Amino acid sequence: MSMVAETDEKPVRAQEGMAGLMKGLAIIEAFGLARDRVTVADAARDANISRAAARRCLLTLTELGYLAHDGKYFRPTPRMLRLGDCYLETAPLPQIAAPFLEGARDVLNETVSITVLEDDSAVAIARADANHIISASARLGARLPFYCSATGRVLLGSFPDDKLDAFLEGRNFPERTEKTPTTVAAVRQRIVAARERGYDTTDEELDKGMISLAVPIRDSKYHGVIAALSVSSFTARTSLDELVEKALPVLLEQADRIGRAM
């Protein structure tokens, strides 16, 4: 009998969620800039699942070639890059922005990046690399804490006051350096300042010796902030004032071009 036939019984609906897949993806997200390897206990804690479930997920990912296991630690393999490539190769923003990123990089001789807000982090989705042995910019997929990164504060500057207050309420802000803002009031002040002046900077708030500048990229149709365009450097190479003077006009121009191209 057809499940949609007229009857007093309610149709049976298939379970659409896959708990195992959810657990596996949570474990994949446990790897990041601050962690390049995990144990079963690490994965269980980060994914909020049992050790037995974490072990099954880790072993499955190892069998599929996404992780390598040395008997204690699990590490990502190059195959893991395929997961990120699915987004980077199909999303319109990285593709559209590529020539504008390269143009900004060629003028500034610094690596230029685009980030978007995901949960409570600024995530790098595109970049044009300068020819420096050491780069100050985040690698693709890196998650930067919003409260002490220029990109994160520029992105949150698009929030109306009530939404911003709700977002910040009850959060902790771990100190990265002695210059890191660590209170709700201090973080909010910096976000509002970024909104009002149309850009933001960091001066060794995220890491010692690192400075950065970010501007918003706005959708040309609705004028909402869709991403942030940024450049980072080291205090040994330039001062923050010099970076702003040189890079701000370039970033504003390229951000406008990207927005109009979207």
CATH classification at residue 53:
1.10.10.10
Q: Are 126 and 140 in contact, with CB atoms under 8 Å apart?
A: yes
Domain membership flag for residue 12 = no
Kindly list the distances between the CA atom of residue 155 and the CA atoms of 71, 120, 150, 197, in Å, as whole numbers in the listed order.
42, 11, 9, 13
Kindly list the distances between the CA atom of residue 83 and the CA atoms of 8, 27, 80, 87, 113, in Å, as whole numbers in the listed order.
45, 14, 6, 8, 20
Kindly list the distances between the CA atom of residue 186 and the CA atoms of 32, 107, 121, 153, 161, in Å, as whole numbers in the listed order.
27, 34, 18, 12, 15
Per-residue pLDDT at 119: 81
**pTM for the complete prediction?**
0.69
Quote the domain boundaries for residue 179.
91-261
Number of domains in the chain: 2
Q: Which residue has the higher pLDDT, 220 or 160?
A: 160
Domain boundary among 79, 102, 119: 79
- Please give the Cα distance from 84 to 125 (Å, whole number): 9
Question: Is 2's pLDDT higher than 90?
Answer: no
Domain membership flag for residue 7 = no
Per-residue pLDDT at 31: 74
Domain membership flag for residue 86 = no
**In the structure encoding, which two tokens stand for residue 172, read together?**
């902790």
CATH assignment of the domain containing 154? 3.30.450.40
Within 10 Å of residue 19's Cβ, how many Cβ atoms?
10
User: For residue range 196-252, what is the model confidence (pLDDT) as tens digits?
Assistant: 999 999 999 999 999 999 999 998 777 789 999 999 999 988 999 999 999 999 999
